[in-house]
Chains A and B, each alone.
Chain A
Amino acid sequence: MDLSYTPEQIAFRSEVRAWIEAAMPLHLKRKAEGPGHYEQAEVMEWHKILYAKGWIAPHWPQDVGGTGWNIAQRHIFGEELVRANAPQLSPFGLGMVGPLLIQYGNDAQKKRFLPKILSGEEVWCQGYSEPNAGSDLASLQLHADKDGDDYILNGQKTWTTNAQYAHWIFVLARTNAGGKKQEGITFILADVRNTPGITVKPFLTTGGTDAFSETWFQNARVPQSNRVGPENGGWTMAKALLGHERTLIGGIAESRRWLRLCKRIAAATAVGSSSLLEDVEFRRRIARLEMRLRSLEMVQLRTLAAAQLGRAPGPESSILKLVGTDVEQEITELCMDGMGHDALGWLDSPPEALPEVERGVASLFNYLRAASIYGGSNEIQRNIIAKQILRLPTA
């Protein structure tokens, strides 16, 4: 066991910090002062800056575009991005379908898709959930029927986050209606913008933003060469991908941001002639959450260190999702508490009524109610832990 930083790693941190400081455009830095809600164009602008530097996919193998950094360097890099409150990149390409293609894709698919995920030319979204297949994902109904060299897709996906910005979607489709429902699912890539029959419709969330979409497929024709892995073999890959997703969507790095935001809000919130950051009881509440987050960061580091040694993220990554989203929600609730009567404000409250640092906090707080639901609800995560780790019997 050795968790200390070497002089090289400390120098690496300085290098990363200096680079971010120099590379981040002024208008993004101004946004970083607030809750850090960035528009899609701004996220992609930052994506391309990282890509140009060669730092877009530190977690990918070096021969397909990774940085070749070790776990400590990746951790340091992540910490510095959070420290700068830089835009968070979309996880669907870099974090999900990319690693999946690296593991299961054929050479043609890797050559076709990976470079454009890295460059940001192609944005991805995820077609998993359906109106009648939420927690029971394997009961999905969107079906892909063979026709010559193509599949014809019919059905509906929902919660397709950022589909309105996406060029491509990865879809779980039913290719066999008989037998065990998990065994009739195929993993297919579809061009959202150039496939007749695919329609995307964003909807408003309670956060006041259109983070999610619904996506319809009506006789959408997709070449069979866009299938990843074998026909009816999609479920294994879907689960592997959910494993990758769970290491990301615990929002642990984000919680670090919200925690800093919480302290900034408290420092800016006047209580008589003092500030809320002087209030011992409020400080203790922040401290308890910061300490819990710290423990969770260590669980994450242990998971990452295991991954570095070639062990795939196992079911224990469920903890990151389960506790991580809980902490994320608690911290944003504490931000709201810290705002006091400013918590009445909304995205369109005028600046003279709502300070900039607090704008978007209420939206974030509302949006993050989804955190304990998406990526497999926290109840599903508990089922996974109970069955796959603790091996408790089924009813």
Chain B
Amino acid sequence: MNFDLSEEQQILVDSVAKYVKNDSPVERFRKQRDSERGYELEAWSRMGEMGWLGVAFPEEHGGFGGSFADLALILEQLGRGLVPEPMIASVVLAGGLLSRLGSADQRKAFLDPMIEGRTTLAFAYGERQGRYHLHECATRAERRAAGFAISGEKVWVLNGHAADHIVVVARTSGAQSDAAGLSLFVVDANAQGLTRTRVPTMDGQRCGLLRFENVTVGADRLLGAEGSALAHIEWAIDRGAAAACAEGQGAVQELFERTVAYLKERKQFEVPIGSFQALQHRAADMYAETELCRSSMILAAIEADDDDEEMRKREISTAKLQLGRGGWYVMENAIQLFGGIGVTDEQDEGLFFKRLRVLQALFGDADWHADRFQRLPHFATQD
């Protein structure tokens, strides 16, 4: 049992941290808030060159054969600088599904160029009526002579506004709420019948509202087996949740450290406000929550690669709950301790606060994960 980073991991963390410090401090994100895309293709291709996009994919899929934990370490560092490029949408969600289920041809067409930083991907799964239930799917794919015709609507699709290729969940059989009958398809962004609306989000990023009206795809665009995608979707969204915990951890850690520095520097009543016990105790509780987040995040990142589905769900739900409760405690108190300037847009604190709130709402919130945890078979065994 060893929690220390390997030498390779330490090198990776150092290089990402250096990138954030020198090339992607929060100011770069600030500029992107006003852009149409919300991030820069140049930065994306550089991430491809540096090998970050392929870290967790097997070598035979064009990756570097690393673990999800390696990817989590990258995300944690990117979270410290609010780096807006679509790592979770492109690498974790859609990329993960293409690597897991894709044929050699599909990987060559859609995964390879993404790993190289030439394209970006999105995963369109959520629907209005679904909340966090992944089996809820009114979008249908009807059989056509040459393949399938997809019709339906997907909401809050991360990078859905800008992706080159979109992995979409559509029902090939069954009723709207059935667990069986879900299939995955890869759709081109410029496919006829696909309308994409750019949707600005609270954290200054963008996502897509996607409408499919008889979008026709060939049979070669079916990803994995027809009708049995649910377990894979759950797998991808779990990894999305673990990734959100990793990025969120970076944001929590960064804002916590900034808060402690501010407590030492800001003076009122002629003394640093960090000398007041009421504030010290709050800072101590924030420290405890930050460490709890980090511990649960590490375990979740490691379990994201576990073939044991129940273990994976247990640890990822645990980390997502801790991020949503403990991580949030840090954010709320950081704003409080910064005082009035914490609620100005000019200061960075509010940007971290908003980003964490968005991460909280993605891939199941704290309540949803607590509920899923109590439904896992082990829960009642009392062990």
User: With A and B bound together, what is the CA distance between A365 and B358 in angstroms?
Assistant: 38
Closest residue of chain B to A383, judged by CB? B280
A residues near B175, Cβ cutoff 8 Å: none
Contact A299 B291 (CB under 8 A): yes
Residues of B within 8 Å of A387, CB to CB, are: 280
- Collect the chain B residues with CB atoms within 8 Å of residue A298's CB: 295-296, 298-299
Kindly provide the distance from the CB of B238 to the nearest chain A CB, expressed in whole angstroms.
15
Instruction: Return B186 CB to nearest CB of chain A, in Å.
Output: 33
Residues of chain B lying within 8 A (CB to CB) of residue A381: 284
Tell me which residues from 296 to 314 in chain A have a Cβ below 8 Å from any Cβ of chain B: 296, 298-299, 301-302, 305-306, 309
A204 at the interface (CB under 8 A from B): no
Closest Cβ–Cβ distance, residue A373 to chain B (whole Å): 16
Interchain CA distance A295-B380 in the complex, whole Å: 20
User: Of the candidates A284, A290, A392, which one forms a contact with B283 in the assembled complex, judged by CB atoms under 8 Å apart?
Assistant: A392
The docked-state distance in angstroms from the alpha carbon of A262 to that of B172 is 44
| Minimum Cβ distance to chain B for residue A338 (Å) | 13
Contact with B along A176-195 (1 / 0, CB 8 A): 00000000000000000000
By a CB distance below 8 angstroms, the chain B residues around A45 are none
Q: Bits for A251-289, please: 1 = Cβ < 8 Å to B, else 0.
A: 000000000100110010000000001001001101110
> Please, which residues of chain A bring their CB within 8 A of the CB of B5?
1
Is there an interface contact between B272 and A393, defined as CB atoms closer than 8 Å?
yes
B201 CB to nearest chain A CB (Å): 27
A284/B370 in contact, CB under 8 A: yes
Q: How far is the CA of A323 from the CA of B329 in the complex (A)?
A: 14
Interface string of A46-76 (1 = CB under 8 A from B): 0000000000000000000000001110010
Asked, given contacts A381-B284, A392-B260, A393-B264, whether A288 binds B321 with beta carbons under 8 Å apart, the answer is yes
Q: Does A111 contact B (CB under 8 A)?
A: no
* A287-B298 contact, Cβ under 8 Å, with A1-B5, A71-B1, A381-B284: no
CB distance from A294 to the nearest CB of B (A): 5
Whether A3 lies near B1 (C-beta < 8 A) is: yes
Q: Are A390 and B260 touching (Cβ within 8 A)?
A: yes
| Complex contact A291–B291 (CB within 8 A) | no
B7 touches A (CB below 8 Å):
no
Which listed segment binds A: B32-40, B144-152, B371-379? Answer: B371-379
Of chain B, the residue at the smallest CB distance from A306 is B3
Q: Does B274 contact A (CB under 8 A)?
A: yes
Residues 342 to 383 of chain B near chain A (Cβ within 8 Å): 367, 369-371, 373-374, 379-380, 382-383
* B22 interface residue (CB < 8 Å to A): no
Complex contacts, B315 vs chain A, CB 8 Å? 294
Bound-state CA distance A277–B318 (Å) is: 20
Closest chain B CB from A233 CB (angstroms): 29
Contact between chains at A305 and B1 (CB < 8 Å): yes
Q: Determine if A386 is an interface residue (Cβ-Cβ < 8 Å).
A: yes
- Of B277, B322, B374, B383, which contacts A280 at CB under 8 A? B374
Q: Which residues of A contact B319 (CB under 8 A)?
A: 295
* Distance in angstroms between the alpha carbons of A387 and B275 in the assembled complex: 10
Given the contacts A260-B383, A263-B380, A323 and B292 also touching, CB distance less than 8 Å: yes
Residues of A within 8 A of B271 (CB): 393, 395
Contact A323 B288 (CB under 8 A): yes
A70 to B1, CA, bound (A): 9
Check B374 against A1 for contact (C-beta < 8 Å): no
Question: Once the chains are docked, how many angstroms separate the CA of A282 from the CA of B291?
Answer: 28
Contact yes or no, A382 B280, CB < 8 A: yes
Residue of B287, B325, B374 near A385 (CB, 8 A) is B287
B16 → chain A, closest Cβ, in Å? 16
Q: How far is the CA of A290 from the CA of B317 in the complex (A)?
A: 11
Residues in B with CB closer than 8 Å to A295 are 292-293, 295-296, 318-319, 322, 326
- Report the separation of the CA atoms of residues A291 and B371 in the bound assembly, to the nearest whole angstrom: 11
A284 pairs with B374, CB closer than 8 A: yes
**Inter-subunit contact B283/A386 (CB<8 Å):** yes
Give the residue name and chain of the B residue nearest to A263 (CB). B382
**Are A284 and B1 neighbours in the complex by a CB distance under 8 Å?**
no
On chain A, the residues within 8 Å of B105 by CB distance are none
**A2 to chain B: which residues have CB within 8 Å?**
1-2
A390 touches B284 (CB 8 A): yes
Q: Which residues of B contact A33 (CB under 8 A)?
A: none
Which of A2, A3, A264, A287 counts the most B-chain CB atoms under 10 A from its CB?
A287
Contacts of A342 in B (CB 8 A): none
> In angstroms, how far is the closest chain A Cβ from the Cβ of B56?
14
Q: Contact check, A1 vs B264: say whether CB atoms are below 8 A apart.
A: no
* List of B residues within 8 angstroms of A294 by Cβ: 296, 299, 314-315, 318
Q: Does A292 contact B (CB under 8 A)?
A: yes
Partner of B287, one of A383, A389, A394: A389
B254-290 residues at the A interface, CB under 8 angstroms: 260, 263-264, 271-272, 274-277, 280-281, 283-285, 287-288
Give per-residue flags for A360-395: 1 if the beta carbon is below 8 A from chain B beta carbons, else 0: 000000000000000000010111011101111111
Q: Find chain A residues with CB under 8 A from B280 CB.
A: 382-383, 386-387, 390, 392
For residue A316, CB closer than 8 A to chain B, the reply is yes
When the two chains form their complex, are residues A382 and B291 in contact, meaning their CB atoms are under 8 A apart? no
B272 CB contacts on chain A under 8 angstroms: 392-393
Nearest-neighbour CB distance to chain A for B248, whole angstroms, equals 14
Chain B residues lying within 8 Å of A201, measured Cβ to Cβ, are none
| Interface membership of A140, Cβ < 8 A | no
Known: A302-B295, A390-B260. A291 touches B383 (CB 8 A): no
- The yes or no answer to B45 lying at the interface (CB within 8 A) is no
- Chain B residue nearest to A395 in the complex (CB): B275
A383 contacts which chain B residues (CB < 8 A)? 277, 280-281, 284
Q: What are the residues of chain B within 8 A of A386 when measuring CB–CB? A: 277, 280-281, 283-284
The docked-state distance in angstroms from the alpha carbon of A303 to that of B281 is: 22
Smallest CB-CB separation from B322: which chain A residue?
Answer: A295
Cβ–Cβ contact A382 & B284, under 8 A? yes
Does A228 make an interface contact (CB < 8 A)? no
Residue from A70, A296, A392 whose CB has the most chain B CB atoms within 10 Å: A392
Cβ B3 vs Cβ A382 within 8 A: no
CA distance A298 to B326 in the complex (A): 15
- Asked if A248 is an interface residue, CB under 8 A from chain B, the answer is no
Q: Chain A residues near B325 (CB, 8 Å)?
A: 292
Contacting residues, chain B, for A385 (C-beta < 8 A): 283-284, 287-288
Does A382 contact B302, Cβ atoms closer than 8 Å?
A: no
Interface pairs (26), CB distance under 8 Å: A1-B3, A1-B4, A1-B6, A3-B2, A4-B302, A75-B1, A287-B371, A290-B379, A291-B373, A292-B321, A292-B325, A295-B318, A298-B295, A302-B3, A309-B4, A316-B291, A383-B284, A386-B280, A391-B264, A392-B260, A392-B263, A392-B275, A393-B275, A394-B275, A395-B271, A395-B276
CB-CB nearest 3 A-B residue pairs: A298-B295, A386-B280, A382-B284
Sample of 18 more A-B contacts, CB < 8 Å, known A298-B295, A298-B298, A323-B292 = A260-B383, A280-B374, A284-B367, A284-B371, A291-B370, A292-B321, A294-B318, A302-B295, A305-B4, A322-B284, A322-B288, A382-B280, A383-B280, A385-B283, A390-B284, A391-B264, A392-B283, A394-B275
